[in-house]
Amino acid sequence: MSALAVTPVLVPLVTVVATSLTQHQPRLQQALSYGGVLLFLGCALALVGGAAVDQPAQAVFGGWGVPFGIEFLVDRTGAALVLITALMGAASLLFLASDADPGPRHPLLLPLIHGVLAGVGGSFATADLFNLYVWFEVMLICSVGLFALGGRPDQLDATFKYFVLNLFGTLLLLMAVGMVYAVTGHLNYGAIAQAMPEVPHGVATLVTAGLVLAFLIKAGAFPMFAWLPASYHTLPAPVLALFAGLLTKVGVYAVLRTLGDTMASSSQLLYEALGWIAAATMLLGVLGAAYHWDMRRILAFHIISQIGYILLGIALGSEAGNAATLFYTLHHIVVKANLFLIAAIIWRLTGSYDLRHIGGLYRLRPALGVLFLIPALSLVGIPPLSGFWAKLLVLQEAIAQGRVAWTAVALLVSVLTLYSMMKIWMEAFWKPHPDATWRMPVSTRLLPAWLATIGLALVTLCIGLYPQWLLDYSIAAAQTLGGR
Amino acid sequence: MIWLLAITVWVTVSAGAYLALSRDVFRCVLGLAILGAAANLVLFAAGRLGPALPAVVPLGDEVLGSAANPLPQALVLTAIVIGFALVCFSLALVLRLIQRTGIDDALELRQAEPQPTDPVKPPYAGEGFDPVWPGSAPGKGGST
């Protein structure tokens, strides 16, 4: 029993309460919010430190003992994701202090952001299926709150679409959790993993398929991704970066927990199906991106496309595949959030997200052009950036298993990703501005935005130049999962 | 008894799915609320139906004899509370949406979509776009 195991939930929740109570004192609220996220970061580092030496933080509630009480267990996988969650929270809150598309300053903005962090942290920390459902609901209610906070008609429209499709996924998840309980008699991950091989084959496949389907809706996989591009672009940039980095990855993590850990005894059919879903997700996501000219819409479609790669790692159903998935997820959260943040800086300097109405930034801000290329080329997978190693790990395992079709799709999608990223770079930075009278805004407050984006770019570079420590960590994490 | 519950779940899911697929945004969220009720029934049935005795160990005994399974009841209670909050939020959201946009038809709700005047993308089919939906009179559109 260690109190550290509940900190991914406790710290953000306390911050939610503290920032809600100080709504009318913006400065105090701001200070409490920074304090909360720094404490969260510290606790996450302690969790990783514990998990890395095989002493995962564990807490069981209610005095029931392990398989019956609600358990929080932060193993290597969970700890790394909690750490990256805290990092993303810190980057978004820092970015919020700049004037690059922060949206209207509603007094409930900070409490809701910390609420999302609590939901995400709880999902990564818990070891109980029903508890996972509860954290998904916490995430859902806080995120629809953030969508609706602006109150513009397009934001309300986006809220409605996001809410309806996600609520449908949540209800499916609730039913599937009920089914898992019905066939195994357990909700604890470890107990499910032990009980699952005893369940008749057909029933187990059906139940697992229902659960994975619910998680795939949350992850934004083909063909259930419609909620994502329909809503994300209406958010203010710091919140958008947080969502883009974290929310879909929680769905992916849940799939990893299910097919890579607790229900790894599932039939090969499910892995095969997941592989084709992953290939379709990659391809359709990137094609959707190629069609758009709004930077936020392009990047939103690339979230979907990259989810395909991550799911492909799980579909390979091996330890190396799971390790690749974890590596890819960690790299991708940083890169994706950073791209959205840099897009917001571009918006601040040029006044539009639409690539057809902007240009000429390279002459005025060459540093921004280089900064954009770091996450953009990492997303494509150009060596020596972090995305190269992530893709290499996934594709190496795919080829080792003889999955030629999936590998070919993945490589094709990389080329199309390069096209999209170069489209943004050529249009926003290289081509002259279409309006000859355009001048950059004179006074901007972009220092916090620069700090946040450069910090995230440094993380990307660090993973890219020294991948071995993260790779070792991911492989060790995959070994502690109950994969095949 | 379990079959009665199964049929109830089936009817509830059908009704919920029918309403959730409606173009009227109010009906859509009400349909989701009904689907939530169906999910709760499934969760309840997951604990097996059987004895209806409360799960209390009698004084002097050490083990719980034949009693109802308390865990699904706790789960359903949690799910009801969460579902209730979400229904309240969704009703407020839909009300605000209709007030702000004056639209209650999910197909016409395109505020967050690319503008139809955008020259590079294929435009939204526009006012004259009136698909004939199955089960509706031709030319009238499906104004369910």
Segment A215-232, tens digit of pLDDT = 999 999 988 899 999 899
pLDDT of residue B143: 41
pLDDT of residue B68: 83
Question: Residues A429-453: pLDDT tens digits?
Answer: 988 888 888 888 888 889 999 999 9
Chain B contact probe: residue of A167, A203, A295 with most B CBs at under 10 A? A167
Question: What predicted TM-score, i.e. pTM, was given to this entire model?
Answer: 0.92
Closest listed residue to residue A188, CA positions, set A246, A266, A233, A130? A130
pLDDT of residue B118: 59
pLDDT of residue B123: 46
Chain A contact probe: residue of B5, B9, B113, B115 with most A CBs at under 10 A? B113
Over residues A376-404, mean pLDDT? 94
Over residues A406-415, mean pLDDT? 95
Distance CA A164, CA A140 (A): 11
A168–B32 CB contact, under 8 Å: yes
Over residues A24-45, mean pLDDT? 95
Nearest CB partner across the interface for B111, out of A154, A168, A175: A154
Q: Is residue B136 pLDDT above 60, yes or no?
A: no
Q: Tell me how close the Cα of B141 comes to any Cα of chain A, in angstroms.
A: 22
Higher pLDDT, A129 or A265: A129
pLDDT of residue A359: 87
Nearest CA in chain A to B43: A178
pLDDT of residue A87: 95
Structural contact between residues A314 and A259, judged by C-beta atoms closer than 8 angstroms: yes
Residues of A in Cβ contact (< 8 Å) with B113? 230
pLDDT of residue A384: 87
Question: Residues A118-162: pLDDT tens digits?
Answer: 999 999 999 999 999 999 999 999 999 999 998 888 899 999 999
Residues of A in Cβ contact (< 8 Å) with B93? 144, 148, 156, 159-160, 163
Residues of A in Cβ contact (< 8 Å) with B101? 153, 156-157
Residues of B in Cβ contact (< 8 Å) with A294? 114
Distance CA A353, CA A357 (A): 8
pLDDT of residue A11: 96
Nearest CB partner across the interface for A153, out of B32, B45, B101: B101
**Architecture (CATH level 2) of domain B1-52+68-138:** Orthogonal Bundle (1.10)
Q: Is residue A260 pLDDT above 80, yes or no?
A: yes
Q: Is residue B144 pLDDT above 50, yes or no?
A: no
Q: What is the mean pLDDT of chain A?
A: 92
Print the SS3 string covering chain A: CCHHHHHHHHHHHHHHHHHHHCCCCHHHHHHHHHHHHHHHHHHHHHHHHHHHCCCCEEEECCCCCCCCCCEEEECHHHHHHHHHHHHHHHHHHHHHCCCCCCCCCCCCHHHHHHHHHHHHHHHHHECEHHHHHHHHHHHHHHHHHHHHCCCCHHHHHHHHHHHHHHHHHHHHHHHHHHHHHHHHCCCEHHHHHHHHHHCCHHHHHHHHHHHHHHHHHHHCCCCCCCHHHHHHHHCCHHHHHHHHHHHHHHHHHHHHHHHHHHCCCCCHHHHHHHHHHHHHHHHHHHHHHHHCCEHHHHHHHHHHHHHHHHHHHHHCCCHHHHHHHHHHHHHHHHHHHHHHHHHHHHHHHHCCCEHHHCCCHHHHCHHHHHHHHHHHHHHHCCCCCHHHHHHHHHHHHHHHCCCHHHHHHHHHHHHHHHHHHHHHHHHHHHCCCCCCCCCCCCCCCCHHHHHHHHHHHHHHHHHHHCHHHHHHHHHHHHHHCCCC
Nearest CB partner across the interface for B111, out of A157, A177, A297: A157
Take residue A469 and report the two structure tokens written for it.
């420590």
Chain B contact probe: residue of A175, A192, A301 with most B CBs at under 10 A? A175
Q: Is residue A263 pLDDT above 80, yes or no?
A: yes
Question: Residues B17-69: pLDDT tens digits?
Answer: 999 999 999 999 999 999 999 999 999 999 888 777 888 888 888 777 778 88
Q: What is the mean pLDDT of chain B?
A: 82
Q: Tell me how close the Cα of B128 comes to any Cα of chain A, in angstroms.
A: 22
Q: Is residue A37 pLDDT above 80, yes or no?
A: yes
- Whether A181 and chain B come into contact, CB under 8 Å, resolves to yes
Over residues A231-246, mean pLDDT? 93
Over residues A228-246, mean pLDDT? 93
Q: Is residue A421 pLDDT above 60, yes or no?
A: yes
Domain limits of chain B?
1-52+68-138
pLDDT of residue A1: 67
Q: Is residue B74 pLDDT above 70, yes or no?
A: yes
Question: Residues A321-380: pLDDT tens digits?
Answer: 999 999 999 999 999 999 999 999 999 998 888 888 888 898 889 999 999 999 999 999
- Whether B90 and chain A come into contact, CB under 8 Å, resolves to yes
Confidence of residue A6 (pLDDT cuts 50, 70, 90): very high
Over residues B108-117, mean pLDDT? 75
Residues of A in Cβ contact (< 8 Å) with B29? 164
Phi and psi angles of residue A354, each rounded to the nearest 5 degrees, phi first: -80, 120
Nearest CB partner across the interface for B97, out of A157, A167, A233: A157
pLDDT of residue B130: 57
Nearest CB partner across the interface for A158, out of B47, B96, B112: B112
pLDDT of residue A460: 95
B72–A181 CB contact, under 8 Å: yes
pLDDT of residue B126: 56
Distance CA A479, CA A481 (A): 5
Q: Is residue A285 pLDDT above 90, yes or no?
A: yes
pLDDT of residue A374: 95
Residues 6 or more apart whose CB falls under 8 angstroms from that of B50 comprise B66, B68, B69
Question: Residues A190-207: pLDDT tens digits?
Answer: 999 999 999 999 999 999
pLDDT of residue B119: 57
Structural contact between residues A342 and A283, judged by C-beta atoms closer than 8 angstroms: no
pLDDT of residue B80: 94
Nearest CB partner across the interface for A182, out of B46, B90, B101: B46
Structural contact between residues A261 and A189, judged by C-beta atoms closer than 8 angstroms: yes
Higher pLDDT, B59 or A86: A86
pLDDT of residue B140: 43
